[in-house]
Amino acid sequence: MERQNLAPIPAAEPQSLYSAAAVRQLDQLVINQQKIPGLALMKRAGRAAFDCLRSRWPEVNAIQVFCGGGNNGGDGYVIAGLAAQRQIPVTVFVGVPVEKLKGEALEAYGFAEREGATLVSTIDAMPAAGKNTVLVDALLGTGFSGALRSPVDAAVAHINGAGVPVLAVDLPSGLNADSGFAEQAVSADVTVTFIGRKAGLFLGCGPALTGDVVFDDLGAAAEIYPQVQGMLLRHTAETLARLPARTADSYKNQFGHVMIVGGDHGFGGAAMMAAEAAARTGSGLISLATRPEHVVASLTRRPEVMAHPVVSGQELEPLLEVPSVIAVGPGLGRSPWSEQLLARAGRAQAALVLDADALNILAGGRVLAGIKRDDWVLTPHIGEAARLLQISNAEVTADPLAAARAIQEKFSGVVILKGAGTVIAHRDGTDVINTGNPGMASGGMGDLLTGVIASLIGQGMTLPAAARLGVWLHGEAGNCAAADGQRGLLATDLLPHIRALVD
Ligand SMILES: NC(=O)C1=CN([C@@H]2O[C@H](COP(=O)(O)OP(=O)(O)OC[C@H]3O[C@@H](n4cnc5c(N)ncnc54)[C@H](O)[C@@H]3O)[C@@H](O)[C@H]2O)[C@H](O)CC1
Ligand SMILES: [K+]
């Protein structure tokens, strides 16, 4: 089926993510072009955070602010001054001696002092946190780098051990603004971030550390944003409207033909799961090329799926002309049989989705060596990404954006690097989708995602749009299925929710 050349779907309310460097550029543009001085920005930041604190914890009767030596600390001093002005008892941990403070941070320190905040220079001088105490983490923001140095590390541990609500200013201290990597970091109930949403808030450890993310543009004008490069678009959802509508005269071919290739000895379930996910996402025709022993099971479980027994790549060849998209990988394994199937499918005309062991075989460099395709989607998790790049898992986790882009450069196509925040790298840029939940870290979830994405491509979406919508659908279905608890969540629990979301 000729894939309709659908224009990329305009994402619903795309929210932009930025690196720390890009936010500093935005900062400077606001100061220079809008003539808003840095101190005014700091006061707005402090005010935004303070107002968020009061609205979230109206019964607060004591505030403890932990200030670092930079402008993140400066924001903290503004918060302390505002609290003191309103007779809320406030104690500030002055993390860096006042003689080392400079510029706006020093002015903000003077504001807190004049308004009567209690300033202490050691952690153990901080009062015990009572029931209605709220802690404010203003230690580190976008200026953080490297491992936490003293006394910030002790302050972070103290905050995390206090057992009372925590508001993080701009970023939870210890979280890398670009990658979401964190070794030791504040765990917050809410993070108030300014001017630009940092990518790290939605990647890696970010979602687990930020609590709710509240954004305040501090008055930055809309025309400031397009001037900054390196925008990462965070799509909360592609509009579903562009999927072909199912009308009375629809015919099954119109919704694409997906073929799943996989299911080596003992792994037939994974392949069938992907086939079922494609069916639930709305594909008209689904076929499965798998080991003969899985054909009967497949036919009994899903008679709608056309199961083909294949014992070699040669047998697979003639089947490859028919589908509009082929997903290779669910339960594929790494046997000679597996390699033969990938070698053939990898050169088929149809668009491809490669997952799981198809990626591990590709990483081995013997099968499809050197091949690059614009019309394939690779869906590695951290370990598969590390193998594709021949680097360590830790290096991938340290900078998922860079890893996803590196894979895209090496193999072309669209790369979905799965994680707490999922990164989608493609020719025109990078998207981050943060949805799903920890309950989804169980077997079969990846097989489902493969089937969903293959189905959306088969229904005519462009590969980047199918990747964005597929990741979002998969995560949202996981959230719906986990409504009554994440423990024991099974991949098959998502299937009815996928169907409901696309309907
Ligand atoms: N445009 C905006 O987003 C606005 C941001 N504001 C706030 O300013 C900070 C960025 O301030 P900056 O001074 O550049 O950096 P930080 O305060 O985040 O940190 C620098 C501070 O921290 C020390 N430090 C760095 N790494 C470590 C480490 N590993 N261990 C210990 N200490 C470390 C460094 O020595 C400095 O003392 C931004 O996040 C916002 O909160 C503006 O106020 C409003 C507009
Ligand atoms: K902070």
The best mutation among 142, 169, 186, 213 to test binding of ligand 1, ranked by most ligand atoms within 8 Å of the C-beta, falls on: 142
Co-location of 189 and 250 in the same domain: no
Co-location of 255 and 223 in the same domain: no
pLDDT grade, residue 233 (50/70/90)? low
Q: Using one digit for the tens of pLDDT, what is the confidence trace for 120-161?
A: 999 999 999 999 999 999 999 999 999 999 999 999 999 999
Instruction: Return the percentage of the chain with pLDDT > 90, whole number.
Output: 77
- Supply 97's token pair: 């001696």
Nearest CA to ligand 1 atom 35: 69
pLDDT grade, residue 355 (50/70/90)? very high
Q: What would the DSSP string read from start to end of 448-488?
A: HHHHHHHHHHHTT--HHHHHHHHHHHHHHHHHHHTTT-STT
What's the pLDDT score for residue 11?
36
What's the pLDDT score for residue 43?
98
Of all ligands present, the nearest one to the C-alpha of 194 is 1
The best mutation among 43, 71, 100 to test binding of ligand 1, ranked by most ligand atoms within 8 Å of the C-beta, falls on: 71
Of 196, 229, 262, which one is at a domain's C-terminal end? 229
Residue 7 lies in a domain: no
Which atom of ligand 1 is least distant from the CA of 177? 39
Q: Which residue has the higher pLDDT, 17 or 290?
A: 290
Q: Does this complex have an ipTM over 0.95?
A: yes
Q: Using one digit for the tens of pLDDT, what is the confidence trace for 52-64?
A: 999 999 999 999 9
Co-location of 211 and 244 in the same domain: no
The alpha-carbon radius of gyration of the chain (Å, integer) is 26
Could you tell me the distance, in angstroms and rounded to a whole number, from the CA of residue 193 to the centre of ligand 2? 9
For the domain that residue 260 is a member of, what is the CATH number? 3.40.1190.20
Co-location of 152 and 298 in the same domain: no
Co-location of 387 and 445 in the same domain: yes
Q: Which residue has the higher pLDDT, 9 or 174?
A: 174
Q: Which residue has the higher pLDDT, 431 or 173?
A: 173
- Supply 284's token pair: 């008209």
Mean pLDDT of the 409-424 span: 94
Q: How many CA atoms lie within 13 Å of 319's alpha carbon, on the beta-carbon side?
A: 25
CB contact at 8 A, 187 and 172 = yes
What's the pLDDT score for residue 433?
80
- 64 pocket-lining for ligand 1 (C-beta < 6 Å): no
The overall average pLDDT reported for the chain is 91
Residue 222 lies in a domain: yes
- Supply 30's token pair: 């606001």
Mean pLDDT of the 372-383 span: 97
Q: Using one digit for the tens of pLDDT, what is the confidence trace for 195-209?
A: 999 989 988 899 899
Which atom of ligand 1 is least distant from the CA of 73? 17
Of 229, 252, 285, which one is at a domain's C-terminal end? 229
What's the pLDDT score for residue 208?
92
Q: Determine which helix (DSSP H) or strand (DSSP E) holds 231, and give its type and residue range.
A: none
Indicate whether 86 pLDDT > 90: yes
Q: Report the alpha-carbon distance of residue 29 to residue 358 in Å, rounded.
A: 46
pLDDT grade, residue 15 (50/70/90)? low
Indicate whether 454 pLDDT > 80: yes
Of 205, 229, 253, which one is at a domain's C-terminal end? 229
Question: Phi-psi category of 485—alpha, beta or left, where left has phi over 0 and alpha has psi -120 to 50?
Answer: left
Co-location of 495 and 405 in the same domain: yes
Residue 165 lies in a domain: yes
What's the pLDDT score for residue 31?
96
Q: Report the alpha-carbon distance of residue 126 to residue 133 in Å, rounded.
A: 12
Indicate whether 330 pLDDT > 80: yes
What's the pLDDT score for residue 75?
98
Could you tell me the distance, in angstroms and rounded to a whole number, from the CA of residue 58 to the centre of ligand 2? 22
- Burial class from Cβ neighbours inside 10 Å (0-12, 13-18, 19+) for residue 20 reads buried
Angle among Cα 65, 67, 73 to the nearest 5 degrees reads 120
Instruction: Return the percentage of the chain with pLDDT > 70, whole number.
Output: 93
Q: Report the alpha-carbon distance of residue 165 to residue 125 in Å, rounded.
A: 20
Q: Report the alpha-carbon distance of residue 75 to residue 89 in Å, rounded.
A: 18
Q: pTM value? A: 0.82
- 144 pocket-lining for ligand 1 (C-beta < 6 Å): yes
Co-location of 247 and 347 in the same domain: yes
Domain of residue 406, residue span: 238-502
Residue 11 lies in a domain: no
What's the pLDDT score for residue 239?
53
Mean pLDDT of the 267-293 span: 95
- 140 pocket-lining for ligand 1 (C-beta < 6 Å): yes
Give the three-state DSSP class for 220: coil
Indicate whether 10 pLDDT > 50: no
Co-location of 209 and 246 in the same domain: no
Count up the domains in the chain and report the number: 2
What's the pLDDT score for residue 232?
61
- Burial code (b: 16+ CB inside 10 Å, e: under 16) for 239-268 equals eeebbbeeeeeeeeeebbbbbbbbbbeebb
- Supply 106's token pair: 């020093």
Residue 1 lies in a domain: no
Q: At what angle do helices 38-56 and 103-114 cross, to 10 degrees?
A: 50
238: DSSP letter: B
Mean pLDDT of the 390-414 span: 95
Co-location of 212 and 257 in the same domain: no
Indicate whether 12 pLDDT > 60: no
For the domain that residue 184 is a member of, what is the CATH number? 3.40.50.10260
- Supply 230's token pair: 């390196």
Mean pLDDT of the 252-257 span: 80
What's the pLDDT score for residue 251?
74
Q: Which of 38-52, 129-143, 227-241 has the lowest mean pLDDT?
A: 227-241
Co-location of 214 and 262 in the same domain: no
pLDDT grade, residue 238 (50/70/90)? low
Which atom of ligand 1 is least distant from the CA of 75? 43
Co-location of 319 and 222 in the same domain: no
Indicate whether 374 pLDDT > 70: yes
pLDDT grade, residue 2 (50/70/90)? very low
Co-location of 218 and 306 in the same domain: no
Mean pLDDT of the 29-50 span: 97
Omega before 151 cis (within 30°)?
yes
